[in-house]
């Protein structure tokens, strides 16, 4: 199985791979075995909205080795638009946990980059408690600012990770990866948004029953009211754009 053989759903001009969680892990193992650099994007409805006004961001998603369906709204939109069905949500936060388990089992080295100072370290420490064999290549907060780019790349290069997790939020994390992918030569580079905050316990993730009701966005809004504009884009604006696109 290779990612270029996977079916794709195109939603608002953004290509999203019709992939399951199990297929995602299998492909990541293939990417690591190849030794070549691959960029993965954890696409949610907010990404699709942002891509309408950010051509660079859209191009990065559309050329990614894997554009993962991280949002139930994408699954519903694919059905509504008559696109290739997206089989299930591949959530970035859950994927990080699965990768930690994979590292525990197979010895893959993971670098944690991003979030506020101390958060990446705590996220890695919490994961290591759960998976003692987790191989942490390094942790660093840093910034996606261009003036810090050289320093961060020089920090990461000697650690030779198999997987780089970048938590700068979209589109900054995805643009940072795209800018440095060829130089870093890390087999798997993934933008993981706020995953470190969840894993470090800085922000509480919605309970399982809330996730099953597809109301995770409402839980996040209650916790962080300052995110209302982003949540409105992901829920309201995205729904309107999808409806208009079908019309």
**CATH number of the CATH domain containing 149:** 3.40.50
SS3 132: coil
Residue 14, H or E segment = strand 14-17
User: In angstroms, rounded to a whole number, what is the distance separating the alpha carbons of residues 227 and 245?
Assistant: 26
Q: Is residue 235 part of a domain?
A: no
SS3 136: strand
Q: Is residue 79 part of a domain?
A: yes
The number of folded domains in the chain is 1
Q: Is residue 102 part of a domain?
A: yes
Read off the pLDDT band of 230 (50, 70, 90).
low
Q: Is residue 161 part of a domain?
A: yes
Percent of the chain with pLDDT over 90: 80
Read off the pLDDT band of 228 (50, 70, 90).
very low
pLDDT at 5 over 60: yes
Read off the pLDDT band of 215 (50, 70, 90).
low
Q: Is residue 212 part of a domain?
A: no
Q: Is residue 16 part of a domain?
A: yes
Q: Is residue 242 part of a domain?
A: no
Read off the pLDDT band of 245 (50, 70, 90).
confident
Q: Is residue 80 part of a domain?
A: yes
What residues make up the domain containing 134? Answer: 3-200
- 220: tokens are 């996040």
Contact status, residue 114 vs residue 124, Cβ threshold 8 Å: no
């Amino acid at each position: 199985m290779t990612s270029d053989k996977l079916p794709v759903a195109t939603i608002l001009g953004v290509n999203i791979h019709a992939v399951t969680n199990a297929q995602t892990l299998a492909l990541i193992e293939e990417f690591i075995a190849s030794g070549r650099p691959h960029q993965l994007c954890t696409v949610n409805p907010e990404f699709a909205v942002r891509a309408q006004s950010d051509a660079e961001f859209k191009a990065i998603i559309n050329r990614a080795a894997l554009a993962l369906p991280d949002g139930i709204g994408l699954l519903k939109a694919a059905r509504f638009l008559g696109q290739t069905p997206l089989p299930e949500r591949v959530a970035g936060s859950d994927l990080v946990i699965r990768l930690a388990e994979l590292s525990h089992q197979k010895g893959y080295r993971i670098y944690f980059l991003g979030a506020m100072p101390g958060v990446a370290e705590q996220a890695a420490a919490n994961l290591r408690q759960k998976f003692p064999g987790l191989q942490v290549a390094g942790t660093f907060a840093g910034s996606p600012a261009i003036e810090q780019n050289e320093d961060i790349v020089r920090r990461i290069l000697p650690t030779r990770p198999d997987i780089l997790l970048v938590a700068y939020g979209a589109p900054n994390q995805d643009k940072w990866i795209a800018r440095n992918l060829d130089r870093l030569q890390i087999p798997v580079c993934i933008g993981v948004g706020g995953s470190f905050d969840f894993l470090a316990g800085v922000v509480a993730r919605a309970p399982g029953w809330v996730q099953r009701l597809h109301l995770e966005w409402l839980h996040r809004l209650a916790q962080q009211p300052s995110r209302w504009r982003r949540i409105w884009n992901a829920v309201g604006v995205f729904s309107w754009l999808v409806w208009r696109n079908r019309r």
